[in-house]
């Protein structure tokens, strides 16, 4: 579904050039959930923006399906660290925003919007305004907005990083359920080892800048997963320890 072939990116600044990514080659299969993990400044977000068509690569190529990525696509949704909701619009209108932007019939997507709000625990909040919601609830709205058009590809740039630990774990659990339901091909950038183990089929570990693929760890733990006490607790701990060692070494 997604293929990166020798992707590199260099930025030119007043003080010189900065090499953010070097020779990233990666294939993400149809319906696969891949987490990208690494230290701050290693190029994770840059890589995601290149896949989204928001930023050109200075070397290499990206394809989705058989089509080269040169600009944003309607079948690719992007979710950022901040929810970026329209403050003058209700929860329901914020969720339906992509439908309106793409010129589709709002009435046809309204039932799906209500379904997503119920799945994310926001049933009954449809008429609320963003300022009436907690940070976690606002990010749930952003998640619903990303899914409203049933995108083939979901790109997520540390969407839960600004939230407290318990809310992050709760939202990660909801995202896991949604992915099991819709099977969108997902690339999820995170600093959190726990999120990576909980959500991903594979975890791509990037080296410090310039970001290069240091290791790809396959997570073979059956879904649904939890960080609590289960029969797979030992396997969860082993995967977390392996990722910790890769990041610290």
37, two tokens: 């993990």
- Do 127 and 222 share a structural domain? no
- H or E element, residue 239: helix 233-248
Per DSSP, the three-state class of 37 is strand
Identify the domain containing residue 116 by its residue range.
82-150
CATH code for the domain in which residue 61 is found:
3.40.50.300
CB 7 within 8 A of CB 56: no
- Do 95 and 130 share a structural domain? yes
- Do 140 and 237 share a structural domain? no
- Do 159 and 40 share a structural domain? yes
- Do 105 and 130 share a structural domain? yes
Q: What is the rounded distance in angstroms from the CA atom of residue 127 to the CA atom of residue 105?
A: 20
- Do 125 and 97 share a structural domain? yes
11, two tokens: 């930025």
Query: Over its length of 249 residues, how does the chain's per-residue pLDDT go in tens digits?
Result: 899 999 999 998 888 899 999 999 999 999 999 999 998 889 999 999 999 999 999 999 999 998 999 999 989 999 988 889 999 999 999 999 999 998 889 999 999 999 999 988 899 999 999 999 999 999 999 999 999 999 999 999 999 888 888 888 888 888 998 899 889 999 999 989 999 999 999 999 999 999 999 999 999 999 888 877 777 888 988 999 999 999 887
For 229, residues 6+ apart whose C-beta sits below 8 A from its C-beta are: none
Tell me the torsion sign for CA atoms 157, 177, 92, 99.
Answer: positive
């Amino acid at each position: 579904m997604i293929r990166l072939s020798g992707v590199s990116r260099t930025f030119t600044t007043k003080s010189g050039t900065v090499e953010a990514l070097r020779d990233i080659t990666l294939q993400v299969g149809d319906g696969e959930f891949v987490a990208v993990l690494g230290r701050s400044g290693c190029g994770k977000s840059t890589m995601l923006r290149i896949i989204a068509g928001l930023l050109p690569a200075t070397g290499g190529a990206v394809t989705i399906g058989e089509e080269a990525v040169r600009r944003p696509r309607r079948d690719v949704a992007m979710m950022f660290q901040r929810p970026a909701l329209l403050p003058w619009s209700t929860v329901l209108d914020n969720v339906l925003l992509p439908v309106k932007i793409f010129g589709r019939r709002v009435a046809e997507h309204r039932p799906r919007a209500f379904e997503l709000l119920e799945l994310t625990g926001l049933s009954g909040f449809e008429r609320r305004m963003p300022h009436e919601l907690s940070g976690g609830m606002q990010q749930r709205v952003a998640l619903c907005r990303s899914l409203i058009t049933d995108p083939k590809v979901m790109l997520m740039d540390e969407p839960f990083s600004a939230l407290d630990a318990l809310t992050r774990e709760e939202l990660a659990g909801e995202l896991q359920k949604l992915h099991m339901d819709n099977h969108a091909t997902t690339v999820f950038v995170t600093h959190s080892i726990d999120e990576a183990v909980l959500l991903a089929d594979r975890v791509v570990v990037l080296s410090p800048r310039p970001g290069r693929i240091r290791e790809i760890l396959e997570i073979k733990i059956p879904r649904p997963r939890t960080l609590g006490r289960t029969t797979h607790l030992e396997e969860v701990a082993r995967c977390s320890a392996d990722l910790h060692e890769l990041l610290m070494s």
